[in-house]
Amino acid sequence: MSTNTNAIETERLSKRYGRRTALDDCTVAIPTGHVVGLVGANGAGKSTLLQLAVGLLEPTDGTITVLGGRPGAGPAQLARVGFLAQDAPVYGNLTVGDHLQLGERLNPGWDRALARRRIERFGLDPRQRAGRLSGGQRSQLALTIAIGKRPELLLLDEPVASLDPLARREFLADLMQLAAEHQPTVVLSSHLLSDVERVCDHVVVLAGGRVRVAGDVDDLLASHKVLTGARTVSTALPPGQTAISASHTDRQTTLLIRTAGPVHDPRWQVSDVGLEELVLAYMSADVPARSLAAVGP
């Protein structure tokens, strides 16, 4: 298998629960070697996409390929993908030590030294029952189990949503150390954009079950600008520029645009865009999603 296989690749992927559509015609490629932020409002399809990638769900339509293989296809595929479900589930009646033993028995490639080191570093008592851990400790234990099998791809569903700010920062700092040391591809879903901006170098924006935009964070920031001008300015844009969102007051018009090159029109004041502003624009944009998913650098 080539080393530049995408971590996750979907082709016209859809998932419906009865009459409700959770994912709708998603085509996206997520490269390896990045920390990828999967962002979108609640119900946008983030958890569904992650559960499809780990093999807990089957697609209704289309295909999904993970590290070149079919999700959950067999022991070899399962060993390559680590998954931390929302709210960091642990077995409340089992001890921390029991969890480590389970991890070791169930995973052929288990890294016992790594797991032990993490438990010690976070001051977790192996005899402590998991149900009595704090939220932050429980997340650290669950991440330890997910990372203990040394996966190539680590999928995290809202890993910090239930943590207080201090525990959140510690969790992310630890995750980034893991990323620096072991270099797994990490895909984490989050609706906390400031966290995504800190830790992710690639983003996928989902809204209404569709991929609105996906790409390298720095490339996306470089190819989008905010234009501000008088209300009378025509919003027609030259070729190569596309408006993603527009807002108007009585006197002023503000556009967020995607552009291939610099903007020279003197009627506009041009400024750079932040990741949060960009993501929000795509999340609320009323545009045909398929045409936007293919944004390149």
Q: Contact positions toward other proteins, by CB under 8 A?
A: 34-35, 169, 172-174, 176-177, 179-181, 194, 197-201, 218, 221, 272, 274
By beta-carbon proximity to other proteins, the closer residue of 126 and 274 is 274
What's the closest the beta carbon of residue 218 comes to other proteins, in angstroms? 7
d(CA 297, CA 222) in angstroms, rounded, equals: 8
Rounded alpha-carbon distances, angstroms, from residue 17 to 42, 48, 57, 68? 16, 10, 11, 26
Collapse the DSSP code of 200 into the 3-class scheme (helix H, G, I; strand E, B; otherwise coil) and give the result.
Answer: coil
Name the residue nearer to other proteins (CB basis): 93 or 194: 194
Q: Element (H or E) spanning 26, and its range?
A: strand 20-30
Q: CB nearer to other proteins: give 172 or 207.
A: 172
Residue closer to other proteins (CB basis): 9 or 174: 174
CB of 194 to other proteins, least distance (A): 5
Q: What is the residue type of 48?
A: T
CB 201 to other proteins: min, Å: 5
Q: Where are the alpha helices (DSSP H) in the chain?
A: 46-54, 75-80, 96-106, 112-121, 135-148, 165-182, 193-199, 217-222, 275-284, 289-292
Bridge partner residues of 23 (DSSP): 15
Nearest distance in Å: CB 87, other proteins: 21
Q: Which is nearer to other proteins, 89 or 297 (CB)?
A: 297
Alpha-carbon torsion angle 225, 229, 233, 237, nearest 10? -10
Nearer to other proteins, 142 or 278 (CB): 278
Residue type, 248: H
CB of 137 to other proteins, least distance (A): 18
